Protein backbone atom coordinates (compact mmCIF):
# COMPACT_ATOMS: atom_id res chain seq x y z
CA UNK A 1 0.00 0.00 0.00
CA UNK A 2 1.38 3.41 -0.94
CA UNK A 3 1.80 6.13 1.66
CA UNK A 4 -0.95 8.16 -0.04
CA UNK A 5 -3.34 5.18 0.02
CA UNK A 6 -2.54 4.53 3.69
CA UNK A 7 -3.34 8.13 4.57
CA UNK A 8 -6.64 7.92 2.69
CA UNK A 9 -7.66 4.74 4.54
CA UNK A 10 -6.64 6.25 7.86
CA UNK A 11 -8.66 9.42 7.20
CA UNK A 12 -11.74 7.38 6.26
CA UNK A 13 -11.43 5.31 9.41
CA UNK A 14 -11.09 8.43 11.54
CA UNK A 15 -14.18 9.99 9.94
CA UNK A 16 -16.18 6.81 10.53
CA UNK A 17 -15.09 6.73 14.15
CA UNK A 18 -16.09 10.36 14.60
CA UNK A 19 -19.51 9.66 13.11
CA UNK A 20 -19.95 6.69 15.43
CA UNK A 21 -19.05 8.79 18.48
CA UNK A 22 -21.38 11.60 17.36
CA UNK A 23 -24.27 9.20 16.77
CA UNK A 24 -23.68 7.51 20.11
CA UNK A 25 -23.53 10.85 21.90
CA UNK A 26 -26.69 12.09 20.20
CA UNK A 27 -28.62 8.90 20.90
CA UNK A 28 -27.50 8.96 24.52
CA UNK A 29 -28.44 12.63 24.95
CA UNK A 30 -32.12 12.13 24.10
CA UNK A 31 -32.80 9.49 26.80
CA UNK A 32 -30.79 11.60 29.24
CA UNK A 33 -33.06 14.58 28.59
CA UNK A 34 -36.14 12.38 28.86
CA UNK A 35 -34.92 11.02 32.19
CA UNK A 36 -34.20 14.52 33.50
CA UNK A 37 -37.75 15.58 32.61
CA UNK A 38 -39.36 12.36 33.77
CA UNK A 39 -41.94 14.15 35.93
CA UNK A 40 -42.94 16.42 33.05
CA UNK A 41 -42.81 20.09 32.12
CA UNK A 42 -43.93 23.32 33.76
CA UNK A 43 -44.42 26.81 32.38
CA UNK A 44 -42.32 29.61 33.82
CA UNK A 45 -43.90 32.94 32.89
CA UNK A 46 -42.73 36.50 33.46
CA UNK A 47 -45.12 39.42 33.01
CA UNK A 48 -44.73 43.14 32.37
CA UNK A 49 -41.47 43.32 30.42
CA UNK A 50 -39.37 44.21 28.73
CA UNK A 51 -37.78 46.51 31.29
CA UNK A 52 -34.49 47.70 32.69
CA UNK A 53 -34.04 44.36 34.44
CA UNK A 54 -34.81 42.16 31.44
CA UNK A 55 -31.18 41.67 30.41
CA UNK A 56 -30.18 40.42 33.89
CA UNK A 57 -33.20 38.13 33.99
CA UNK A 58 -32.38 36.67 30.59
CA UNK A 59 -28.77 36.12 31.61
CA UNK A 60 -29.85 34.32 34.79
CA UNK A 61 -32.34 32.11 32.95
CA UNK A 62 -29.84 31.19 30.26
CA UNK A 63 -27.03 30.49 32.73
CA UNK A 64 -29.34 28.12 34.62
CA UNK A 65 -30.65 26.32 31.54
CA UNK A 66 -34.18 27.67 31.84
CA UNK A 67 -36.59 28.85 29.17
CA UNK A 68 -39.71 30.88 29.86
CA UNK A 69 -42.65 32.66 28.31
CA UNK A 70 -42.38 36.44 28.50
CA UNK A 71 -45.77 38.15 28.58
CA UNK A 72 -44.78 41.58 27.32
CA UNK A 73 -46.70 44.81 27.49
CA UNK A 74 -47.02 46.31 24.04
CA UNK A 75 -45.96 49.79 25.14
CA UNK A 76 -42.66 48.44 26.48
CA UNK A 77 -42.06 46.20 23.47
CA UNK A 78 -42.52 49.21 21.19
CA UNK A 79 -40.14 51.31 23.29
CA UNK A 80 -37.49 48.58 23.69
CA UNK A 81 -37.39 46.47 20.53
CA UNK A 82 -33.81 45.37 21.17
CA UNK A 83 -34.91 43.75 24.43
CA UNK A 84 -37.65 41.83 22.63
CA UNK A 85 -35.03 40.53 20.21
CA UNK A 86 -32.83 39.65 23.18
CA UNK A 87 -35.67 37.59 24.66
CA UNK A 88 -35.94 35.61 21.45
CA UNK A 89 -32.16 35.24 21.15
CA UNK A 90 -32.05 33.85 24.70
CA UNK A 91 -34.51 31.12 23.72
CA UNK A 92 -37.60 32.60 25.37
CA UNK A 93 -41.12 32.69 23.97
CA UNK A 94 -42.76 36.09 23.60
CA UNK A 95 -46.46 36.57 24.34
CA UNK A 96 -49.13 39.30 24.58
CA UNK A 97 -49.97 41.01 27.90
CA UNK A 98 -51.98 43.97 26.51
CA UNK A 99 -50.60 47.35 25.55
CA UNK A 100 -51.03 49.44 28.72
CA UNK A 101 -52.04 46.83 31.36
CA UNK A 102 -55.59 48.06 31.99
CA UNK A 103 -58.52 46.27 33.62
CA UNK A 104 -59.81 44.88 30.33
CA UNK A 105 -63.15 43.78 31.74
CA UNK A 106 -63.98 47.46 32.34
CA UNK A 107 -63.34 48.45 28.73
CA UNK A 108 -65.45 48.42 25.59
CA UNK A 109 -64.92 45.78 22.94
CA UNK A 110 -63.21 48.36 20.71
CA UNK A 111 -60.83 49.33 23.51
CA UNK A 112 -60.02 45.70 24.24
CA UNK A 113 -59.36 45.16 20.56
CA UNK A 114 -56.96 48.10 20.51
CA UNK A 115 -55.05 46.81 23.54
CA UNK A 116 -54.58 43.38 22.02
CA UNK A 117 -54.01 44.31 18.39
CA UNK A 118 -51.47 47.03 19.12
CA UNK A 119 -49.49 44.62 21.26
CA UNK A 120 -49.48 42.03 18.48
CA UNK A 121 -48.13 44.66 16.13
CA UNK A 122 -45.56 46.01 18.61
CA UNK A 123 -44.11 42.59 19.38
CA UNK A 124 -44.02 41.51 15.75
CA UNK A 125 -42.49 44.84 14.78
CA UNK A 126 -39.80 44.43 17.43
CA UNK A 127 -38.79 41.02 16.09
CA UNK A 128 -40.64 38.88 18.63
CA UNK A 129 -42.76 37.05 16.09
CA UNK A 130 -46.55 36.96 16.15
CA UNK A 131 -47.69 35.92 19.63
CA UNK A 132 -49.97 32.90 20.02
CA UNK A 133 -50.58 33.36 23.75
CA UNK A 134 -52.35 36.14 25.64
CA UNK A 135 -52.53 36.87 29.34
CA UNK A 136 -55.08 39.46 30.44
CA UNK A 137 -53.74 41.90 33.06
CA UNK A 138 -54.58 40.83 36.63
CA UNK A 139 -55.93 37.59 35.19
CA UNK A 140 -59.25 39.39 34.64
CA UNK A 141 -61.28 38.10 31.73
CA UNK A 142 -64.79 37.61 30.39
CA UNK A 143 -66.45 36.40 27.22
CA UNK A 144 -65.70 39.65 25.37
CA UNK A 145 -62.01 39.57 26.25
CA UNK A 146 -61.79 35.93 25.23
CA UNK A 147 -63.59 36.49 21.94
CA UNK A 148 -61.36 39.41 20.96
CA UNK A 149 -58.23 37.44 21.83
CA UNK A 150 -59.49 34.51 19.79
CA UNK A 151 -60.02 36.82 16.83
CA UNK A 152 -56.26 37.37 16.78
CA UNK A 153 -55.52 33.67 17.06
CA UNK A 154 -54.54 33.98 20.72
CA UNK A 155 -55.03 31.39 23.44
CA UNK A 156 -55.76 32.94 26.83
CA UNK A 157 -53.32 31.82 29.54
CA UNK A 158 -53.84 32.50 33.24
CA UNK A 159 -51.81 30.47 35.81
CA UNK A 160 -52.03 27.64 38.31
CA UNK A 161 -49.63 29.08 40.90
CA UNK A 162 -49.12 32.76 41.76
CA UNK A 163 -45.61 33.39 43.09
CA UNK A 164 -46.80 36.64 44.70
CA UNK A 165 -43.55 38.26 43.61
CA UNK A 166 -45.55 41.34 42.63
CA UNK A 167 -46.69 41.54 46.27
CA UNK A 168 -43.22 41.54 47.82
CA UNK A 169 -42.79 37.78 48.19
CA UNK A 170 -39.34 36.78 49.44
CA UNK A 171 -36.92 34.76 47.36
CA UNK A 172 -37.63 31.76 49.62
CA UNK A 173 -41.38 32.15 49.08
CA UNK A 174 -40.96 32.36 45.32
CA UNK A 175 -38.89 29.17 45.27
CA UNK A 176 -41.48 27.45 47.46
CA UNK A 177 -44.18 28.47 44.98
CA UNK A 178 -42.24 26.84 42.16
CA UNK A 179 -41.97 23.69 44.28
CA UNK A 180 -45.79 23.38 44.19
CA UNK A 181 -45.89 23.03 40.41
CA UNK A 182 -46.82 19.73 38.82
CA UNK A 183 -46.69 18.52 35.23
CA UNK A 184 -48.35 20.92 32.79
CA UNK A 185 -48.87 23.70 35.30
CA UNK A 186 -47.92 27.37 34.92
CA UNK A 187 -46.53 29.84 37.45
CA UNK A 188 -46.97 33.61 37.42
CA UNK A 189 -43.84 35.68 37.97
CA UNK A 190 -42.77 39.13 36.85
CA UNK A 191 -39.92 40.66 34.90
CA UNK A 192 -38.96 43.29 37.45
CA UNK A 193 -38.76 42.08 41.12
CA UNK A 194 -35.23 41.70 42.52
CA UNK A 195 -36.32 38.69 44.58
CA UNK A 196 -37.48 36.90 41.44
CA UNK A 197 -34.12 37.46 39.76
CA UNK A 198 -32.36 36.16 42.87
CA UNK A 199 -34.59 33.07 42.89
CA UNK A 200 -33.69 31.88 39.37
CA UNK A 201 -30.75 29.59 40.29
CA UNK A 202 -32.79 27.95 43.05
CA UNK A 203 -35.79 27.62 40.74
CA UNK A 204 -33.57 25.60 38.38
CA UNK A 205 -32.33 23.44 41.25
CA UNK A 206 -35.85 22.88 42.57
CA UNK A 207 -37.20 21.77 39.20
CA UNK A 208 -34.24 19.47 38.59
CA UNK A 209 -34.61 17.84 42.00
CA UNK A 210 -38.22 16.99 41.15
CA UNK A 211 -37.57 15.71 37.63
CA UNK A 212 -39.33 18.69 36.03
CA UNK A 213 -38.16 20.82 33.12
CA UNK A 214 -39.14 24.29 31.97
CA UNK A 215 -41.29 23.87 28.88
CA UNK A 216 -43.27 25.88 26.39
CA UNK A 217 -47.00 26.54 26.67
CA UNK A 218 -49.18 24.81 24.11
CA UNK A 219 -51.62 27.16 22.33
CA UNK A 220 -53.86 24.13 21.86
CA UNK A 221 -54.17 23.01 25.48
CA UNK A 222 -52.92 26.03 27.43
CA UNK A 223 -50.61 23.77 29.42
CA UNK A 224 -46.84 23.38 29.62
CA UNK A 225 -45.33 20.80 27.28
CA UNK A 226 -41.91 19.78 25.96
CA UNK A 227 -40.33 22.53 23.82
Catalytic residue status for 191? no
**Per annotation, catalytic residue among 47, 48, 165, 191:** 47
Closest by Cα among 157, 152, 113, 103 to 134: 157
Nearby residues of 136 by Cβ (< 8 Å), 6 or more positions away: 98, 104, 105, 145, 149, 156, 158
Whether 72 and 123 have beta carbons less than 8 Å apart is answered as yes
> Is omega for the bond preceding 50 within 30 degrees of 0, making it cis?
yes
The phi-psi region of residue 107 (left if phi > 0; otherwise alpha if psi is between -120 and 50; otherwise beta) is: beta
Active site residue 47: yes
Catalytic-labelled residue, pool 48, 97, 165, 190 = 190
Which residues carry out catalysis?
47, 190
Amino acid sequence: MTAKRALTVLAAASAAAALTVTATTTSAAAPARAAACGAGYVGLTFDDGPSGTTTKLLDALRQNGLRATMFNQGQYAAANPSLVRAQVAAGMWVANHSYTHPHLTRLSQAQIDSEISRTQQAIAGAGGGTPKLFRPPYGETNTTVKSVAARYGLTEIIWHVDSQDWNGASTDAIVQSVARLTNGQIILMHDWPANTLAAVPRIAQTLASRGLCAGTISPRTGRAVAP
